[in-house]
Amino acid sequence: MTLSGRVALVTGASQGIGRACALRLAASGAAVAVAARNQEKLTDLLREIEAAGGKASAFQMDVADEEQIKAAFKAALGQFGKIDILVNNAGITRDQLVMRMKRADWDSVLNTNLTSAYLCIQQVMSSMLKQRWGRIINITSVFGQMGQAGQANYAASKAGLIGLTMAIAREVGSRNITCNAVAPGFIETSMTAVLSEEFKQGAVKMIPLGRVGTTEDVANSVAFLASDEASYITGHVLSVNGGMLMG
């Protein structure tokens, strides 16, 4: 599954799933624009990609800020000339029971996890339409499919990404542009590291494969959807959850 000659942009690339996706896409031959708020972590990521023989550039960007999105994409397009693959990965949580959830926490999660994806897609659409080739991959979540108590904002944002994925797939399919979602289950990241051991053990009991997933499990799925081998797959939600949710 070579991505040689392709240019990918990954949001939320400084850590976790986004970082693993950037490394995997670079290993497959793509030039990678990595975007996130933490410049120090992005610099470390660049060193790792380049040390492995890959090509990458970093763009500091807060996806909650529309002007920063526009500026970063303009800079990336100016440097690389195109963006073939967009991975909308950036996301946050602000967990609370809905009866106690502050409006600011609802808005923050929806803006970061969902609205940013719509804004990023807009930035690459002209380039993809012009070249009649593109891969848009949105990182959703198993909780966008099954819900989760205490995460109404997060679940709503991730469910919204699934709807967005299908709408975009219908809009641009005739131009050889695919849009798919990857729905990770319980993955070992900094976001899940803060959860209690009791919660983690309970989660593993719900997973038929009997283990927590890795960021590489997700990144491999993203690399496949970005490739020519996945050219007849669009509007699909690829579950990477060890069997936690079926059907």
User: Percentage helix, strand, coil, to 5, in the chain?
Assistant: 50, 15, 30
Nearest-5° Cα angle at 14, 197 to 63: 105
For this structure, is 154 an active site residue?
Answer: yes
Secondary structure (3-state) at 159: helix
**Residue pair 42/60 in contact by the 8 Å Cβ criterion:** yes
Tokens at 35, concatenated: 């975007």
| Residue 93 CA neighbour count, 13 Å, CB half | 19
Contact 212, 155 (CB under 8 A): no
**Which of 154, 165, 227, 238 is an active site residue?**
154
- Angle, helices 66-80/116-131, rounded to nearest 10 degrees: 30
Strands lying side by side in the sheet with 237-240: 55-60, 31-36, 7-11, 85-88, 134-139, 177-184, 237-240
Active site residues: 154
